Amino acid sequence: MFSISRIQSLLKPISRGQFDRLAHEHRADRHSKGFRVWDQMLVMLSAQWGADQGLRQSITSFNEQRHHHYHLGTREVRRSTLAEANAKRPPEFFADVARSLMSQVQGSVRSSCTKMLRLLDSTSITLKGREFDSWTLCNRTRHTQGVKLHLVYEAHAQAPVWHSITAPNVNDRDEGVRVPIQPKATYVFDKGYYDYNWWHSIATQGAHFVTRFKKNAALKVERDRAIPIAARGLILKDQVVRFTNKNPGGGRRNEYERALRRIEVAREGDRPLVLATNDLRSSATAIAELYKDRWQIELFFKWIKQHLNVKRFCGRSENAVRTQILIALIAYLLLVLHKAATKVKGTLWELLCQVRATLFTRLDTQRECYRRRKRQRKTFAALQPGLF
């Protein structure tokens, strides 16, 4: 009995036809000398799922599974070949593969959820030392040298649905305005994305946002909303406000002329949070809970840095670094889609542990062999006469 291995099952969301079309559009296999972009992705994905450290360990682990290569459509790989591909092959191809998987995540969310919650934030990945300094020193900041990963995280699917990789000196707001807005979704972000005209763009596209006001925001209070008895002590103020400053600075005009809500939320031992939102219908407690949910994206950044390989890189060029980060995102998205398709119980971390233990195992074949041995033992026991 033949069955597919665990890694083949994980790769199911990637349509090979679409993959080859993207490779043709990006000319990703040009000058490949037999080492295609499919081979590169398989090695890098198995390294991410297998927790391999470095090129040598990744290549050794992958080549030891040579009896699986035929069914995966690949072959043995040399370390120098993989290193050259990571250094020279443009990473934009893998960015498109990640986007296609993110679109599948978005499709599943639209069909299963009435309200979409999108969390926007960024995280820095430090890159210092030999060969990194040649391309990271010129755009470092006071606190960071390396690259910055910007993400829109879908809270219900627990997966990213938009990404961007930039230098650390790129402002979060400048990347935020590039995020495609989904109507009827709610976007939650911190003060790093403080831009009234971008808020106006979100509102005009039929979406909601939840963020924080700065202390110097020029506001006019139109009315105070009643605070329910159950929310008193948590919600200090709930006001409908408008901006009074039409020219906030930098020669730009403030296009946001609609009403907003200003909600003060009590914090133990700290100053109250002052939230801003264009959602005039939801309760103040619900708005506060939405901003609290922003912590999920911080947990996501922590998860991928702990459980996937985005700290120790197989190459030190910019291409190699970006490629490895994108492969880590692809590995995470494939885990999420596999968990949703198979309805595996438990956390994503527990699934990753199972994958690491059985990455090249044909589970159905093993189960059938176990059932066959069990039937044989029962048949033998029925035929064997008792001794007493």
Number of CB atoms found within 10 A of residue 208's CB:
22
Own/partner pairs, 308-313, CB within 8 angstroms, 24+ separation? 308/48, 308/332, 309/47, 309/48, 309/51, 309/52, 309/53, 310/125, 311/125, 312/53, 312/54, 313/127
What pLDDT, in 10s, does the model give residues 280-294?
Answer: 999 999 999 999 999
pLDDT reported for residue 364 = 54
Mean pLDDT of 50-70: 91
Q: How far apart are CA 207 and CA 129, in angstroms?
A: 43
Q: How far apart are CA 56 and CA 50, in angstroms?
A: 13
Mean pLDDT of 302-308: 96
Number of CB atoms found within 10 A of residue 78's CB:
11
Distance of CA 114 to the CA centre of its chain: 21
pLDDT(177) > 60: yes
Mean pLDDT of 199-213: 96
Mean pLDDT of 24-43: 90
Instruction: Please state which of the ranges 4-8, 25-29, 310-314, 380-384 shows the lowest mean pLDDT.
Output: 380-384
> Across the chain, what does the average pLDDT equal?
90
More confident residue, 383 or 53: 53
pLDDT(3) > 80: no
Q: How far apart are CA 75 and CA 34, in angstroms?
A: 10
pLDDT reported for residue 149 = 97
Residue 260: Cβ-neighbour burial (10 angstroms; 0-12, 13-18, 19+) = buried
pLDDT reported for residue 2 = 54
pLDDT(1) > 50: no
What pLDDT, in 10s, does the model give residues 361-382?
Answer: 886 545 555 466 666 677 766 7
φ, ψ at 125 (rounded to 5°): -120, 115
**Considering the chain, what percentage of its residues have pLDDT values greater than 90?**
76
DSSP code per residue over 110-171: HHH-SSEEEEEEEEEEE--STTTHHHHGGG--SS--EEEEEEEEETTTTEEEEEEEE-TTS-
Amino acid identity of 351? L
Whether 193 contacts 136, CB under 8 Å: no
pLDDT reported for residue 206 = 95
Whether 330 contacts 40, CB under 8 Å: no
**Considering the chain, what percentage of its residues have pLDDT values greater than 70?**
92
Whether 78 contacts 59, CB under 8 Å: yes
Where do we find the tokens 């990006």?
Answer: 26
Q: Which helix (H) or strand (E) holds 265?
A: strand 260-267
Mean pLDDT of 206-210: 97
What pLDDT, in 10s, does the model give residues 101-137?
Answer: 999 998 877 766 668 999 999 999 999 988 999 999 9
What pLDDT, in 10s, does the model give residues 227-255?
Answer: 999 999 999 999 999 999 877 666 678 89
pLDDT reported for residue 252 = 76
User: If we measure between CA atoms, which residue out of 269, 277, 314 comes closest to residue 294?
Assistant: 277
